[in-house]
Structure 1
Amino acid sequence: MSDKKFRDFALDHIIEEMIDTVSNSKDEIFDIGEDSRHEFEKLNQELLETKEEVLSLINEGDLLERKVRLSRVRLSEVSKQFQKYSEEEIRKVYEQTHSLQMDLSMNREKEKQLRARRDDLEFRLRNLDETIDRAEALGGKISVVLNYLKEDFKQVSNVLEDAKEKQKFGLQIIEAQEEERRRLSREIHDGPAQMLANVMLRSDLVDRTYRERGIDEALSEMKSVRKMVRSALYEVRRIIYDLRPMALDDLGLIPTLKKYLATIEDYNNIEIQYTSLGEERRLEPKYEVALFRLIQEAVQNAVKHAEATFIHVKMEMRGETATILVKDDGKGFDPNKTKKNSFGIVGMKERVEMLEGELSIESGIKEGTKVTIHLPINR
């Protein structure tokens, strides 16, 4: 078998493995959804039973409370006129009152435990309902990807001549997509999801505080909840902005870039200097998106990996050329050593090459990093 045929065979094998993996993932997600649905039904039934028990205990407690009040009145009468009653009668009234008070105390404690169980079940049901929705949505997306892989992906092998490059290209795309999904999942889980879960718990606490401590304490708790909601909203907006800033379509590249850099500066507590030279004008959407993403990736690398404290971003538009310079004072790296999973730089190179531009990266250990990009914007 020739080298080319062997590479093509290997690539076809990889594609088949990918299809099998995606198919298995779809089945696993379906199983997760079904298991969550069964658990949801089970917990929902348990919740209904718990609510009935709580209602029954409330009615029973109200009845016991009335009996305790009557018994206390009887006890008061006996205490005031104890000479009219025998020692046995007085003891019997005391014991009856004590027994009713104990029963009432146990009733209230059990009611409190059942209420806590009810709240926990409702919280778990909400999480399961969200899991079911996400599983269904993800299953639908995987079906689309699976159809694409089965019908269209094999055509890529007919377009690219070198099988090794085709394999590397396909795997990089998939790994980059999975890394982005993991990043978004982590950000949503650690940010808005956690905050909203805390909001739900604190909202229950507001109700309990109002009943037990009064309106002033409840208002204080509500202010705390409002602050948490505001933080969650900020996190959601930041994630959406990272995915696609809407201002890019409405205001253009320069205002959006200034706002983005100011946000990064405030959020990460670092100094960012922005310089704009030449004419500030609107470009075709593909160029504005490309320039914004390139600057975004370079800045994110400086913030996350280089641990920079100062970043200088300069953009110059002269005639039919745009020049970008992003320089930081971070820890730098050795450009001759390829880092594992360095998809950010790979993505930058592919985007620049796609637009027929030039990219150069100058860096050294403890010497910072300088990224220079030249893009033609006349095509």
Structure 2
Amino acid sequence: MDRELRGETRARDELVDMLITELKRIRDKLTELKIQIDQTQNVVEREQTRNADIFTELNTIKDNLETVPRQDIRAKYDEAIEARFRLTTMRGQLEKFQSTREYLEREQQMYSQLLNRLQGIEDLPQPQEDNKDVGTKGQINIVRVIQAQEEERQRLARQMHDGPAQSLTNFILQAEICQRLFDRNPARAAEELDNLKNVASITFQKVRDFIFDLRPMMLDDLGVIPTVRRYVDSFREKNDIQIKLDILGEERRLQTHREVMIFRGIQEMMGHARDYANATDISIRLDIGNNVVKIVVDDNGRGFDTESAFSNEDGHSQDPRIQGLITLKEKFELIKGSVSIISGETDGTSVRIELPTSD
């Protein structure tokens, strides 16, 4: 009995230490982000002023086209294009920093709540059979949630490295090529610059898509229903999958954390259907009721035996889809929601999620 008590206390202390370390990392990152946001905001304001000045100059040129040399006109329009691109890029950078800050602030709040709960627990009493399982299950839930977040960070880091970071490296190389060509072959340098601009525009759009997947800003501005509609449209364009979306109930705002949970649940189910089930059809039903939000996501892809999958959860920890469903279920249960799954190897998968509209 004492050994079990010491083991549970040690597990709790390890979680507390891990949460304290994570909170320190988040606070340091938030401090760094504040500096970056302030600096980028200043650059955006300068670029806005510069764009306004160039626009005024272009209007002056437009009124005096007959007297302004052609090379001056071309130079000013090139300057306007470059200034507009730089302003767009810096605005995108600012949105990225702000989105990351919001994400970290929510993480900080969640970790703080978990830490307060753990530190607020008195020395564990002599465990009885009933409450021993509950305590152990609660600790397992917290560990799984934290592990899932760490895995998501790793995935995002890989995605950022393989995408925008690699593109930025190519930008540097292309810029160096242009620099060397300016004196020897101006026409080729201009061609390379034009290619660089096109690639930069494509990469910028990819970064915006990446930011939207990471944390869509419209979720805070407009709410979960417009965000889900936008995400479904974007998902449909990028994947060869037919998607049907039905919205029922009153379209209204909910508490922020509930809107985030609803969006993330739908996003995760769609990702599972694409990445693991190879589905060609997905049906989503989102019903905003007075007291309960009901979500049903059906796909026609490769399913699985739910009885064997969830009868021994630890034994299926290597299956990303099963582990993702287990973690999703536990996240919703933490805020008094529920997740039920019906699936068969040839029957597709149906996930039903229910979430109270308020505490």
Q: How far off is 1:24 after superposition? A: 11
Where do residues 34-183 of structure 1 align in structure 2 (5 Å cutoff)? 155=119, 158=122, 162=132, 163-183=135-155
RMSD: 3.4
Which residue in the other structure is 1:212 paired with? 184
Task: Confirm or deny that 1:202 pairs with 2:186.
Answer: no
Q: Which amino acid counterpart does residue 196 of structure 2 have in structure 1? A: V
- Tell me if the contact between 2:16 and 2:118 (Cα under 8 Å) persists in the aligned partners: no
CA–CA distance in structure 2, aligned partners of residues 221 and 180 of structure 1: 37
Task: Confirm or deny that 1:353 pairs with 2:350.
Answer: no
Q: How far off is 1:194 after superposition? A: 0.5
CA–CA distance in structure 1, aligned partners of residues 344 and 201 of structure 2: 41
- Tell me if the contact between 2:145 and 2:327 (Cα under 8 Å) persists in the aligned partners: no
Q: How far off is 1:185 after superposition? A: 1.0
- Tell me if the contact between 1:277 and 1:316 (Cα under 8 Å) persists in the aligned partners: yes
Q: How far off is 1:301 after superposition? A: 1.3
Residue deviations 1:126-177 (CA, integer Å, cap 9, x gap): xxxxxxxxxxxxxxxxxx9xx98xx868526649853532542343233222
CA–CA distance in structure 1, aligned partners of residues 332 and 20 of structure 2: 34
Q: How has the CA–CA distance of structure 1 residues 14 and 321 changed in structure 2, closer, same or farther, with 3 Å as cutoff?
A: closer
CA–CA distance in structure 2, aligned partners of residues 16 and 280 of structure 1: 44
Residue identity (%): 35
CA–CA distance in structure 1, aligned partners of residues 21 and 252 of structure 2: 49
Where do residues 23-38 of structure 1 align in structure 2 (5 Å cutoff)? none
Task: Confirm or deny that 1:367 pairs with 2:339.
Answer: no
Q: How far off is 1:227 after superposition? A: 2.5
Q: How far off is 1:191 after superposition? A: 0.7
Task: Confirm or deny that 1:329 pairs with 2:300.
Answer: yes
Where do residues 219-368 of structure 1 align in structure 2 (5 Å cutoff)? 219-336=190-307, 337=309, 338=313, 339-340=316-317, 342-368=322-348
CA–CA distance in structure 1, aligned partners of residues 14 and 353 of structure 2: 38
Which residue in the other structure is 1:111 paired with? none
Match of 2:8 among 6, 11, 26: 11
Q: Which amino acid counterpart does residue 157 of structure 2 have in structure 1? A: S
- Tell me if the contact between 1:157 and 1:166 (Cα under 8 Å) persists in the aligned partners: no
Q: How has the CA–CA distance of structure 1 residues 153 and 375 changed in structure 2, closer, same or farther, with 3 Å as cutoff?
A: closer
TM-score (norm: length of structure 2): 0.62
Q: Which amino acid counterpart does residue 338 of structure 2 have in structure 1? A: E
Partner of 1:293, secondary structure, is helix
Q: How has the CA–CA distance of structure 1 residues 294 and 224 changed in structure 2, closer, same or farther, with 3 Å as cutoff?
A: same
- Tell me if the contact between 1:308 and 1:329 (Cα under 8 Å) persists in the aligned partners: yes
TM-score (norm: length of structure 1): 0.59
Q: How far off is 1:350 after superposition? A: 2.5
- Tell me if the contact between 2:255 and 2:358 (Cα under 8 Å) persists in the aligned partners: no
Instruction: Return 5+ residue gaps in structure 1 as ranges.
Output: 26-143
Partner of 1:314, secondary structure, is strand
Partner of 1:332, secondary structure, is coil
CA–CA distance in structure 2, aligned partners of residues 228 and 153 of structure 1: 49
Q: Which amino acid counterpart does residue 277 of structure 1 have in structure 2? A: L
Partner of 1:280, secondary structure, is coil
